Each structure stands twice: as C-alpha cells, then as structure tokens.
Structure 1
C-alpha cells in the first residue's frame, strides 16, 4: 500500500470524521473513539501548524469531504427530520444509562396486565386464570405493530433496539450475581428474542420498501445472532454491515471473533470491502489468530506509514511480538506507547503480562499505580493490579482483582484466563477449570485457556481429557513447543507411545522458532526453543525413554547420545573448550550420561562405560550411582582378567 495523495487523504479524513459522528449519534462510543484516534494519527504537515492567524479566514477548517449517510437516501432523510426531537430525547436517556426509557421513545412496551406490585382483590384470588398469571422474571413480548417499526428511520430503530440489547445485558449481569456463583453463566439476555423478531420482520420487508440498508441494523442483528450461537448467519450479516458501513470498527471486531483459523479468514476475505479498513482488519484478524509472519509485519509497516501516530496500530505490532515471544521488543513498544499516552488504559493488561513474564516487578508496580490513578474501574486496570499481586505470589489478592475485572465486564477474556492461572497456583483445580471454560466461551482462540484446561485435567490425572485440550491448544499454536511437549507427556501416560514420540518431535521442530532467552507466558516450567541450532535436551530425553518403553534400544541410545551432544552445541570449539553454544551440564544430560554408561556396561563396552561414569563423578550429578557403576565395571574387568589367566 503506497502513501495516499492529498486528495485521497482528505477524502479519508472526511470519511473518518463522518464515522465518528455517525457512531456517536448511535451511541457506539468505542467505535467512535477508535475512528477519532485514527483520524488524529495522520502525519503532521506544514498545514497543521499554528502559524495562521486565528482571525484569518484561512483558519476556518474545511468541511467534510463526504456527505452524511442520511443525505444519500431521501426516505431516511425525511424520516430522520421528522424524528429529530424525539431522537435527541432518546439519546439523552441512553447517555444517562436509562436504556428502557430510551427504547420506549420509539418502541413503547405494553405493560403486563397484572403486576406483582398490585395486591389482587379477593375475587381474583378465588377465580385464578391460568394464562393470565404472570411469573416474576418472565418478560412479556412487546405488542408492536408492523406499522410502528416500518414508520421509523433506521437510525431511530437502531438506537431503540440497541438500548434494549444493552438493557438486557445489564439485567443478565445483575441476575448472574457473583462471579463463578451458582447463577453465573446460566442467565441469558431475555431481550434477544424480541429484538430478533423485530429485525427479522424489518429485513423481510426491506426489499419492497424502497429503502437502502445502511449497515447499522445488520451489525445489531449480527450481534444478536452471534449471542444465540447462530454464527454462520451472523457472519453473513456482519459482512453486509462492513460493506454498507466500513468505518464501524465494532462490526469488524465482532467479525473477527467468528474465525477460528487463518483459512477461514482467507475464505471470507474476497467478500470484504477492498479498502483501507479491510486492510486494517486483515492485520488485526491475523494478530488475533497469532499469525506473526513477515507478511503481517510488512502490511503493518505499510499502514503505519499512513497513520504513524496510531496507538492502535502500534499496539497491534506489540501484540504480534508478544505472541511470537519477542517480549523485549513488545515491552519497548508498550513503554513508548505509555510515554506518549500516559492515560491510555487500552491493552495495558497485555503490557502487564509482558512485564510479568520478564519479571520486571518495578515497572509492573509503576504501571499498576498509573492505571489505578487514571481509572480504577476499568477491567484492564484490575488485571494489571492482579498481575502485580501474582508476581508477588499473593494469589488470593490477585483473584480478588480478576474477579473485580469480571464484575465490570464478564466478557473480558484476559481476566478469566489469568484467574484460572491463579486458581492453578492455589491448587483449586475445579475453580480453575470453570475459569478456563468461561474463557473459551468468550473466545475459542485463546490457546492459554485451552492449555490451562489441559493442565488442570492433568493434575486430576484425567489424561484423556487433558490430551483433548492440549490438542486444541496445539492446533492454535502449532509452533509453540510447550503445547507439543505437554501433549507428548500425556500420550506417554496413557500408553500411546507412538503418538507421544511424534508429539515430542513436533516440539523439537517448533522449538527452533523461538530464541534461547525467551520466557514463558505461563510462568515456570515451559519448554522453549533454545536457538543456535541447540535442541531441547529434556525433549530428546523423553523421546529416548519412550523408545525404551517399546524396546527399541537402538533409537533410545541414539537419542541419549543426542542429549549429550547438546552440552557442547553445534558451535563447540575444541581448541578453546568453548561451550557457549550448548546448554552445558544439566540434570537431564547427567541422567542421559548415566543411562548410556549402564547401557554400554550391559553391552560389554566397559571402557566407554568407565569414561561416562568418570565424567559423572566430575559433574557432581548422580555421583553415587556413578561410583557404584565404576566398582561393578572394575570387578567385571578383574574377573575377566582372572578367567584369562586361568585359561
């Protein structure tokens, strides 16, 4: 993508400005904020300076380059003009979080005939009517005529139905009560059936109405369908929405949640608008699918040439580094973002993850303090503070803050996953499983939650379940050696030795993708790539043990020799004894040396066995076993000499 001409840049600015206004009018504030930040991230030019006199006519800003959506459709323009006063009232109700009052401006609900607040008369008690009895908590469908809905502009209908949707979400969270409580995850948004019925009726009559779709109602219907797990139809409506209204970033975000693999993304790409928003979405969706190829980085570099000041795009680059375990690079970008935007909380939970992995507690403490000062009631802030307490091994306090984040937003993925990690540390396996399950309900692409489920079931010694979850994690992260190592260990425990060997070999291949000094997104105990052509000795040793279980002693011995070879590495210089390229002596290499010493002893290769045993004595590992083996070797050699002298 080449740099834009001045005319194209002016047109794009006008479109973004129009997007900010349109999203704000429809109370889609997150999308409006995103578009506004992108609008202000263009490179500064000479025209952006403040040299022009304020009183000069030259200081007047140019008008937007694109007409508003209302002026494109005369029917909608006429309806919106008629609804202006009511719309302003409805929007003020929405802004004051009076969502039911907002919806009732254009879609008045019919109240139930009886109310639990009204005391029934004795006559009504003696003659109950089964169908007229209304149970508390069972909403009645609004009696809305088709004429009421058809007489509304798309703008008014969207605001009304969106207010109903938000009100239903709020009541659902209130009914759920405490996080991980008995009602959590069971309650549903009871407004969805009514919203769905109204939108179905509206779309069925759209073709004969002469009105053009604007994309906003398609976005809302996609939200409702996705909530109902009707993802195939939701995908169709989100595609229609982004084609009609490409600058509604919320629709693009919801669209990305429907893709589980990069192949699914590529299948849908031809149906998406081929403009700058489609280009940004490709980068965002690739990052969400953990794709860190050079092509994604190159595409991001091209779009950053157009929007060099975009904090969102810089965050995508930091997340790409984070997913590829280049934590130092990710930390540097996040740090620069924090300096440039000290009050920006977005994605700071990911920054805290990076600092946690790097064990940089001072910076993590500073980030937690800054976030708390800025806004203590943001879920990102609670996750940052939770990570800080987790770094201090205060897991109970960490859980308190992760719960607080979920109280603020039950769909906040990081909090579910991180809380599961804390429950694992606290040995509360069942609570960890429930946390991870809620995480994958929110986002099926969260490999950390799938891996966490595998860990939890492995702790419970339910290895078949663990294998299933590890396989899901490995499918999402095929180049992460940790996933394949865990899978290989579980296969070995259930007796599937051949599958275990294949999994461990995949771990060896995947390990070459990561550097030696990369930490773990899961804390201690991760298998990482060792870089420099060095293979992981732990994985090699486990492969050897699996070969031993099937009595393939030749392959077992060969892999044990490979374990020893990793001490020196491929760059070993015998003249200077440089072992900088290898791992040096480790407990794993010492175990392999002891096994080989015993193996050579059993084969009658006493000289080789003696050399290996003496090396063990020098390493200071497995010394007692090595000394016992040396005594056996000497006794056997002396007995052989005695037999030869008698002969």
Structure 2
C-alpha cells in the first residue's frame, strides 16, 4: 500500500538531496518570477517532501558523476545570468509589472514592459496580455469551451519573428508560444514537438510537462517522446504522470515508483498519483487509504479532492466521511471547482457541478459527474452534452466515452454505442466491462465474429468477476456452436467444471444439452448418454430434451446397423 521507492537502479539522474534542494529552490524562484504559480507550487511541494538530512544512499546506484556536476553548474550559471542580465531600469520596470501581475492587473503589467527585451520581461509581457484577454473571456458564455482569445494571433506573430531570428531559445517563451498555438490550432501535429522543445530548454517548468502529456494519446507516442527526453529526474516524474493518465496497470506504476530514490517516499505528487491510480483501477478501498494518508500530511488540501469525493461516493457507507470532506473543502476555499464537486456528491448535485464549471470550464470531474447525474434523472440529451464536453477537455478520460456508449445503448442506437465503447476500450484494453458491453452489442447486431473476439478479450481480463466470467463463457460457447463445435464443447466443459456454477443453473442445462447433442453427432454413445442422464435429472423441459436426444441417438445407431447389414 505504501510507496516503495529505491528498490531498483534508475537510468534517470537524481542529484543528492542537498544539491536537489538547491536546484528546486532556484527553479521555484524562476517560475514564480514569471507568474507560473502552478509550476511553482509543484516544485515547492517536491522540495518540501525531501528529508531535512540526506539518507544513506551507499547501497543505491546513485553517484554524483561528472554529468550531474555539469548539470548543476549549468543550471546555476543560467539562473544567475538570467537575474543579472536585467539593467537597473529594466529591472525596476520588471518589479513594477510583476506587482501589477500579482494583483491581476494584467493590462498594466504588459504596458510597462513594452520596451523591455530580456527573455524574462518578454515572457511576462506576453503572458500578461494573454491572461488579460482570458480573464475577459471567462465572463462570457459557458456553453463553448473553444472561446477565442483575440490577442493570440498578434502575440504569435510577434513571437514567430523572434523564432525566425533565433531569439526564442528560452524554455519559458517556447512554452507560452506552444500554449497559444494549441488554443489557436488544437489539432496541430507539431504541438508535441513544441512542448518537447520547451522542456528540453528548461527542465523545471512542470506546466510544460503537463501540456506535453496532453499531446500524448497512447503508449506508442509516449515511448517515442521518452526516447527524446533528457535523462533528468523530471523525465521520470513525467513518466509516472503519464502512467496514470494513460490508465496503466498498477504493476507498471509500481515499477516506475521503484526507480525513485528512497528520499522521495513522502513526495505528495507520488502519493496523489498512487491514489488516482487505484481510483482508475476501481480499487476504491486502496484509493481511500492513499487519500487519507495524503490528507493527514496536508489537511487543507483541495487539489484532487474531486476524485477523493467520488471515491467516497462510490463506497456508499462513507456518507459521513464525504460530508466532513465537503465541509473541509468549503472551509478551505468555497470557490474552487473541486469544492463544488465534493458538494455535488451530497445533494443538489447538478447545481453544484454547474457552479464548478462556472469557476473552471475545463473541470473534467464536473463534466463527467454531471453527465452521470443527468443519466440518473433520464435527461439523455443533457447527459450527452456533458460527456462530450468531458472528452473535449480530456480525450483520455475513459469514463466519459463509456458514459456516451451507455446512453446510446439505452437509446437503442447500437452503432453509436459501439463507436463510443470502442473508444473507451482503447483506453482501457484490460477492462472486462468494456469488452462485455461491446461483445453484447456486436451479438445484437449479428456481428458474431466480432462478438466472439469481444467475449474472448473479456475472459482474458484480470479484473473480470465470477458472474461475468460465467456470462461470457456461456455467450462464447453458444456463439461457437455455429462456427466451431469443437471449441464450443471445450468451453461448455470448462464452464460445467466451475465450482461457483450453481447446481440448478440454466447454464448447466444448456451445457449438458449441447454436449449430449455434440457427442450424439460424433457417434460417441457413452459420452452422449452421460450428459443426457444429467440433463434428464433437471426435470421439466430438460427431461424431454434428454429423451429426444437419446431417441435420436438410438435411431442413428439403428440406421448405421441397417446400412452395415445391407452392405
């Protein structure tokens, strides 16, 4: 249950604790000076999670080789140069503009940086103009996620002139350029390369890593990106982040955690990802324990509490605990979208989820949970809109794709349902529920070969329960009866051997009936009679079926004997 770090050597370079603290402190200052508060918070939390005194790493395969020494020196000299490059007049303007930026007077912040040319001042000016327009847009209509920021074309034109003249080799400038390009051209195939270039130029802007992750839709893309990343410890944090984003199995997550040095056992980012990983894999008890441990060390935390509240909601007997969590979130910050999601798990759900979306239109949990609530009250149109907004926010969210599949299945629009379940199963290829739903729809549409594949994939999944296993084996056996009698017989035999199959179950009747007929056709009298006798023992129509099979067997044998005499 607890994080098991330091169990295997890592190919990623981690600095010794004291040097790591120095690197992270300097990186936090750099991100803070540019107003990148999300990155600053991530770095500061990573820094705070390190021990006060370095632990003994004599048994770990971690040494301060020349490449690490060079990285530390390069980082420190780059940061010092960035600070001293500002002449006094420009530095004074930077201080004034940053003070305006901090109180959200973005237009004033941008105005006083117009004549400044240092990368830091250029970034803050561009970022201020971008945020100024964004703050106007947020008060606009809520029903469109693609609100256009009118400043972007002008800002990008200016930045492209710097890019052409090679004045934009700054990781922060590359980051804001890529963010704006993403908003203008969300389907641009070069976005991944732009964010990759940003993190290669500056490793410690976590926001750039998150944006890079949003450009990666599958494990093949991730593998390609990881091969192009530097061996910095930030790449391992990113690898762990993507393991959760791409719904990886728990063992893959555990293997990545094992590469972190033992000093990172209390890292809150790792703890949060562990709790989310358990949630994604529907291990709600372990997820609850992980979130409880996280809240014990950070009791006023609101980040990711939307996920925790959903865990408590799913575990029905935790309503008192959910109520306490909701009150805690309100006490900490009642205007956070996570708070609204926690409140929405209790009462007046839809109104709270809508409030969450008024605060943050990209709140994935709010869109998905609101879709669930609309399904509950049978408002399918609103549910479809909610789920579609969710997949716009994050196409890697299997729950929203699955929700769309369920709605269209309820509406008897099977081919739409199949499409959405296919999208969901592509994200969760080891989830038995997805394959069972897909296979049932394929069977309904007489796509029997695809149905066979679907039920087979469901049976290969490790998370399939006993009831679904029996259901899938029964369906598969019946489908194979027309395509491959040998396989059908083998599956029926495996099913009848199961201890958890009730003695009077219909599956036993169907299995013995098929096997009796199967052996009758093959002329195997002893096996046919064995299954016919068992079938007869069920009584009722099963007894009549057994009599018919035995009668046909005798007639077949008699016909064979007559033919033998005639010949």
Task: Specify the TM-score bucket, using the shorter chain as the normaliser.
Answer: 0.7 to 0.9
Q: Does the CA contact (< 8 Å) of 1:300 and 1:317 recur in 2?
A: no
Q: Deviations over 1:220-253 (max 9, x none)?
A: 0111122221543222221222122211111111
**CA distance in structure 2 between the aligned counterparts of 1:590 and 1:6, rounded to whole angstroms:** 59
**CA distance in structure 2 between the aligned counterparts of 1:601 and 1:252, rounded to whole angstroms:** 62
TM-score, normalized by length of structure 1?
Answer: 0.73
Partner of 2:123: 158
**CA distance in structure 1 between the aligned counterparts of 2:515 and 2:249, rounded to whole angstroms:** 46
Correspondences of 1:183-202 after superposition (within 5 Å)? 184-185=144-145, 187-202=147-162
Partner of 1:222: 178
**CA distance in structure 1 between the aligned counterparts of 2:359 and 2:14, rounded to whole angstroms:** 43
Partner of 1:377: 335
Deviation (angstroms), 1:79:
3.8
Flag the structure with more relative contact order, 1 or 2, with Cα contacts below 8 A and sequence separation at least 6.
Answer: 2
Partner of 1:593: 508
Partner of 2:558: none
Note the residue ranges of structure 1 that are not aligned, 5 or more in a row.
48-63, 108-147, 390-396, 515-527, 569-582, 616-625, 642-647
Partner of 2:241: 284
**Aligned pair 1:263/2:181, yes or no?**
no
**Aligned pair 1:368/2:377, yes or no?**
no
- Structure 2 counterpart of 1:459, from 410, 425, 439: 410
Q: Which moved more, 1:246-255 or 1:80-89?
A: 80-89
Partner of 1:435: 386
Q: Deviations over 1:352-376 (max 9, x none)?
A: 2322333342322322222222222
Partner of 1:537: 470
Q: Does the CA contact (< 8 Å) of 2:29 and 2:40 recur in 1?
A: yes
- Structure 2 counterpart of 1:341, from 298, 301, 315: 298
Correspondences of 1:553-572 after superposition (within 5 Å)? 555-556=487-488, 558-566=490-498, 568=499
Q: Which structure has the highest helix share of the two? A: 2
**Aligned pair 1:171/2:129, yes or no?**
no
The alignment of Structure 1 onto Structure 2 pairs a total of residues equal to 520
Q: Deviations over 1:523-547 (max 9, x none)?
A: xxxxx344xxx97101112223434
Q: Deviations over 1:260-312 (max 9, x none)?
A: 11111111123222111112111111221122363531331342612232111
**CA distance in structure 2 between the aligned counterparts of 1:271 and 1:632, rounded to whole angstroms:** 66
**Rg larger in 1 or in 2?**
1
CA pair 10-602 structure 1, distance change in 2 beyond 3 A: closer
CA pair 491-2 structure 1, distance change in 2 beyond 3 A: closer
Q: Does the CA contact (< 8 Å) of 1:222 and 1:237 recur in 2?
A: yes
Q: Deviations over 1:159-199 (max 9, x none)?
A: 1211222223233332224xxx4xx2353222221221121
CA pair 633-419 structure 1, distance change in 2 beyond 3 A: same
Note the residue ranges of structure 2 that are not aligned, 5 or more in a row.
1-7, 56-71, 521-527, 555-567
Partner of 2:104: 97
**Aligned pair 1:203/2:211, yes or no?**
no
**CA distance in structure 2 between the aligned counterparts of 1:223 and 1:500, rounded to whole angstroms:** 43
**CA distance in structure 2 between the aligned counterparts of 1:282 and 1:635, rounded to whole angstroms:** 63
Correspondences of 1:414-453 after superposition (within 5 Å)? 414-453=365-404
Q: Which moved more, 1:217-226 or 1:589-598?
A: 589-598
Partner of 2:89: 82
- Structure 1 counterpart of 2:196, from 219, 239, 264: 239
CA pair 192-637 structure 1, distance change in 2 beyond 3 A: closer
Partner of 2:430: 479
CA pair 368-612 structure 1, distance change in 2 beyond 3 A: farther
Q: Secondary structure at the match of 1:536?
A: helix
Deviation (angstroms), 1:492:
1.1
Q: Which moved more, 1:262-271 or 1:321-330?
A: 321-330
Q: Does the CA contact (< 8 Å) of 2:343 and 2:349 recur in 1?
A: yes
Deviation (angstroms), 1:327:
2.8
